[in-house]
Amino acid sequence: MTFVLALTVAVLYGVGAYLILQRSLSGIVIGIAALGHGANLLLLNAGGRAGGVPIAGADPSVTADPLPQALALTAIVITFGVSALLLALAYRSWLHREDDIVEDDIEDRRIASARARLDAERRRAEVREAATLEDGTRPDGADTDGGS
């Protein structure tokens, strides 16, 4: 049973990470919720066997640790709060733009265009340098064949 829970946690983490990296706000909200559910299952799996005796006076091999259950309860509350906030932000974005796709930021576009300009200038400089070397002259104007 522990292997099945571990596999479920891995699937929830993978799906959550994949959805968070998407541009759709609804996918991001669902991804955060999936990560929260995966964390809860991980904590409950770490708590030990269900129905085991709590810490008080039992054999250590059969005791169940109550701390992961308290942590899971805290994680549920935190996940609920984050999901509610993200849903409110996604709803506000939907009202404002009638779309849930996150567009590129203006700063991202500016950086990408500056990078493209630098790459184009670098390619032009390499082409000029290759052309001058084929002509037999160095870029400083001197002949490369020794002046003969």
In this predicted model, what pLDDT tens digit does every residue of 23-58 receive, in sequence order? Answer: 888 899 999 999 999 999 988 887 766 666 555 666
Q: What is the pLDDT of residue 67?
A: 81
In the chain, the N- to C-terminal Cα span, in Å, equals 86
Q: What is the pLDDT of residue 145?
A: 55
> What is the domain partition of the chain in residue ranges?
2-97, 106-148
Contact 50, 41 (CB under 8 A): no
Q: How far apart are CA 118 and CA 105, in angstroms?
A: 20
Q: Tell me which residue of 40, 42, 32 sits closest to 7, measured CA to CA.
A: 42
Q: What is the pLDDT of residue 49?
A: 66
Question: Does pLDDT of 20 surpass 90?
Answer: yes
Kindly tell me the burial class for residue 46, based on how many C-beta atoms sit within 10 Å of its own C-beta (0-12, 13-18, 19 or more). middle
Kindly report the number of other CB atoms within 10 A of residue 16's CB atom: 21
Protein fold of 2-97: Helix Hairpins (1.10.287)
Q: What is the pLDDT of residue 60?
A: 64
Contact 19, 36 (CB under 8 A): no
Tell me what the pLDDT averaged over the chain comes to: 83
Interval 87-126: pLDDT, tens? 998 899 888 888 878 777 788 889 989 999 999 999 999 9
Q: Tell me which residue of 108, 94, 90 sits closest to 32, measured CA to CA.
A: 90
Q: What is the pLDDT of residue 43?
A: 86
* C-alpha angle 126-127-133 in degrees, rounded to nearest 5: 90
